[in-house]
């Protein structure tokens, strides 16, 4: 019975395993580490919204996409979606989301949007809050996923649907960048957005998690709007990676309310099926000690591959995933 089910899964998938795994295997812990050692360095000064370090960060992201010949997303200003914020204290901030994309070959007007927030809390009391896990880990994961999709495109395996790589700003001060995108200026129509895969803190392990296995990821929100989305994520994991998918924080009565605390929520509240990938908080959460040497790069690679596989399958399957 188990073999029969597995064969059905394999034959329902869009490409041979060899092709998909070829591109998944371009995602490596060494490349993730190299990117993160720059992105979460002291030079970027904690990437506080609107400040010097955040400007260095968005330029770093833009230059990465340019170097890899991944196009600026439609309706951006050379990769930037600019916004002006007026804070409660009257401070005016100029900031920007960063968006690149690979157009689909068969259904270019249907979009998978992969998000991570590019900002962190900056400098407080003279100490730099580097935010290596929060959310440097998600940021570099997107870069590696984008590079994998681009290599596939270069080899004649362009995705059927378009993939948008969206780095949102001002998450730490209220999910502002993603809310601006969904509520004020979606660069592609929300009705054409098939799913949002959101990555926020996937580089460490949760010291409070009762199960002590390392190879896990918290999955939040996957079944709330689309059972299809939940099932696809589960099936690609079974087929390729066998990570422990932990749904403990997906419960409606989760006291942490993580479902409402990252950028996927602004997509989900607009009816876009979404998954929040998360490895949990730890003693360095929102502390100056959230630094690059504490990231577990083998786990970051494994989790990034899961997100790539899920995005690949959703982008290339015949039918658009359905909402519940």
The answer to whether the beta carbons of residues 111 and 136 sit under 8 Å apart is no
3-state helix, strand, coil in the chain (%, to 5): 40, 20, 35
Tens of pLDDT, residue by residue over 289-298, are 999 999 999 9
Question: Residue 5 above 50 pLDDT?
Answer: no
A 10 A CB-CB count for 85 gives 18
The answer to whether the beta carbons of residues 86 and 94 sit under 8 Å apart is no
Question: Residue 37 above 70 pLDDT?
Answer: yes
Tens of pLDDT, residue by residue over 158-186, are 999 999 999 999 999 999 999 999 999 99
A 10 A CB-CB count for 15 gives 15
Report residue 174 CA to chain centroid gap: 18
d(CA 300, CA 33) in angstroms, rounded, equals 9
User: What does the DSSP 8-state code read for residue 197?
Assistant: E
Tens of pLDDT, residue by residue over 256-278, are 999 999 999 999 999 999 999 99
The pLDDT-based confidence of 99 (bands split at 50, 70, 90) is: very high
d(CA 225, CA 227) in angstroms, rounded, equals 7
**What per-residue confidence (pLDDT) applies to 14?**
56
What is the full DSSP assignment across 128-171? EE--IIIIIIHHHHHHHHHHHHHHHHHTT---SEEEEEEEES--
% of the chain surpassing 70 pLDDT? 95
Tokens of 247: 């749904």
Q: What angle do CA 239, 241, 244 make, to 5 degrees?
A: 110
Mean pLDDT of 196-206: 98
The answer to whether the beta carbons of residues 209 and 216 sit under 8 Å apart is yes
pTM, rounded to two decimals? 0.95
Question: Residue 39 above 50 pLDDT?
Answer: yes
**What per-residue confidence (pLDDT) applies to 13?**
61
The pLDDT-based confidence of 15 (bands split at 50, 70, 90) is: low
Question: Residue 3 above 70 pLDDT?
Answer: no
As a whole number of Å, the end-to-end CA separation of the chain is: 28
Q: Reduced to 3 states, what is the DSSP secondary structure of residue 240?
A: helix
Question: Residue 147 above 80 pLDDT?
Answer: yes
d(CA 302, CA 191) in angstroms, rounded, equals 31
d(CA 310, CA 304) in angstroms, rounded, equals 10
Mean pLDDT value across the chain: 95
Mean pLDDT of 189-204: 98
What is the full DSSP assignment across 16-57? -HHHHHHHHTT--HHHHHHHHHHHTSGGGGGGBTTSHHHHHH
A 10 A CB-CB count for 241 gives 16
Tens of pLDDT, residue by residue over 218-259, are 999 999 999 999 999 999 999 999 999 999 999 999 999 999
């Amino acid at each position: 019975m188990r073999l029969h089910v597995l064969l059905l899964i394999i034959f329902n998938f869009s490409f041979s395993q060899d092709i998909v795994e070829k591109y998944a295997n371009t995602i490596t812990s060494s490349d993730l580490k190299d990117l993160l050692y720059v992105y979460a360095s002291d030079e970027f000064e904690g990437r506080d919204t609107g400040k010097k370090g955040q400007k260095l960060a968005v330029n770093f992201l833009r230059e990465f996409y340019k170097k890899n010949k991944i196009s600026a997303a439609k309706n951006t200003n050379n990769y930037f979606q600019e916004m002006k914020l007026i804070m409660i204290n009257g401070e005016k901030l100029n900031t920007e989301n960063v968006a690149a994309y690979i157009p689909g070959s068969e259904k270019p007007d249907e979009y998978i949007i992969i998000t991570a927030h590019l900002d962190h809390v900056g400098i407080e009391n003279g100490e730099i809050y580097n935010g290596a896990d929060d959310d440097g880990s998600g940021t570099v994961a997107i870069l590696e996923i984008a590079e994998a999709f681009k290599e596939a495109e270069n080899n004649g395996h362009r995705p059927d649907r378009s993939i948008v790589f969206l780095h949102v700003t001002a998450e730490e001060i209220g999910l502002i960048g993603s809310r601006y995108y969904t509520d004020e200026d979606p660069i592609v129509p929300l009705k054409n957005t098939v799913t949002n895969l959101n990555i926020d803190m996937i580089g460490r392990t949760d010291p409070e998690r009762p199960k002590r296995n390392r190879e896990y990821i918290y999955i939040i929100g996957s079944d709330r709007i689309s059972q299809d989305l939940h099932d696809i994520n589960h099936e690609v994991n079974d087929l390729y990676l066998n990570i422990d998918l932990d749904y403990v924080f997906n419960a409606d009565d989760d006291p942490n309310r993580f479902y409402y605390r990252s950028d996927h929520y602004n997509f989900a509240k607009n009816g876009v099926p979404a998954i929040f990938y998360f490895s949990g908080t730890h003693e360095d959460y929102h502390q100056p000690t959230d630094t690059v040497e504490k990231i577990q790069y083998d786990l970051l690679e494994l989790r990034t591959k899961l997100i790539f596989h899920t995005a690949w399958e959703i982008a290339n399957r015949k039918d658009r995933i359905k909402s519940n």
